[in-house]
Each structure stands twice: as structure tokens, then as C-alpha cells.
Chains A and B, each alone.
Chain A
Amino acid sequence: MIEPSLALYGEAYDRVDQHIQELLDVTGVRYGLLVDRKGFVLSHKEALWAPRPPALDSVATLVASNAAATAALANMLGETTFSEQIHQGENGTLYVESVGSEALLTLIFDASVPLGKVKVYAKKTVAQVASILDELKDLPPVNLGDDFSQGATSLLDDLLG
């Protein structure tokens, strides 16, 4: 029951990974993440030359919360959402763009990378990734079954005593 859709999902996410990698290669961005609106990392790529990234779970959570807060702000101002956020610091930039209604493309790069270039290429990647996420919507939900629950419960016992 699980197996066929697994392969399909895996293949789709491989394509997402590939698009993000291409974006990194062409623009010189350090880290590229696809984060869902709830703050979970769906996919991430880092440039080979880049130093070890900060805690990605924390980055994803803060990016998603920030997007949620600015979306609420957008609603107050009569917009449906602000699709793009740019935070520029002295040494680097955080660039976040909506991918459909479910995900956020997050790019982190340093001051040597021109923002305009990143924007141009990011738009292309966003369109590609959005169409992959759209395909995934039509897939049937996965049934994890009872033994998943049992296995998870015993791990819970180990972790929490």
C-alpha cells in the first residue's frame, strides 16, 4: 500500500532537490531550503564551498513564523499575502519567496551575490517547484498502519520513560 506512492514522492522530491541545486550553482547562493508553511524543512541544499549552515530547523521555524506574521499583516492592509520577503544585513541576505500556498523557498547568500540575479533565477525555480508540489496534491494519502503506531509508541517509551 505504501510502496508505490513512496517511489513517486521520492522521485518528485528528487526533482525539487535538483532544481534547488541548479539555482545554487547558477547564482552562488550558500543555502537553499524548501520549507513548508508550518516550519518543516522539506528539502535543503548547500553549496559545497559554504561553511556549515546554522541549525536548519530553527531557520525554517523562524522563516515560516515570519511569513505567517507578515501574511497576517498583509491581510490587515488588504492584500492576500506578501509573496516575497528580503532581509538584508551587513554581510548577507535572506530571501524568501512563496511557492504556492503551502511552501516557502528560502535562500541565504552573502553580500557578493547580486540580489537581482538571485531574484531572476529564483522566480524560475519557484515556478518549477510549484508545479511539482501541485502534482503531489493529487496523490492518494498514505496508510501507515497499526504497526507504525506500535513501533512509535515503544520509541516514545524509550525517550520519555
Chain B
Amino acid sequence: MSTPALKEWPLWEVFVRSKQGLEHKHCGSLHASDSEHALQMARDVYTRRQEGVSIWVVPSASISASEPNDKPEFFDPASDKVYRHPTFYVIPDEVGHM
């Protein structure tokens, strides 16, 4: 992996929440000199067709990601805890919607 040239603008990750969207979704990345510049570029590049109403930009260097190699172990505990799901619990029909 090469280190980016010193004169390069830093990389930013862009998250956009669409008009009806409940959450911000990652939609891409871009290079910009600072956060204000990054927001302006994200506005121009990623919301040109009214794709969103709110933008977050985050320096890529601030993001930590889970390790792909740990995937099985890392996410495994979720699968044997079925009692975390509402469907695990049987409620008599006469109770109605719950």
C-alpha cells in the first residue's frame, strides 16, 4: 500500500440521508481540502438530482472497520440467540396484535 503524496487533499467519506430516508447511507468518497469544501463537493456530486436532504462528511482516516477475516467469529454470537427476536415468543391469539 502506498502512502498518498503529501500535497494531496485528504479523503472524505460521504453519507447522505434521502428525503424519505430514515438514516444516512454511505454513498461514496471524495478528496477535499477541509470539511466545508467536502460538504460543498458532496452537494454537487452526490445530490445533484435531489438524492438527499442531509449530508455528513467524515475524514476517511477517522473510520475503523471490522476485519473481513474475523467475519465468522465476530458476527457468530448473533445466530444462537433467537430469543432476541419477537417471533420467538408465542402469544395466545386472543391477545391480538402485540
A, B in one complex? no
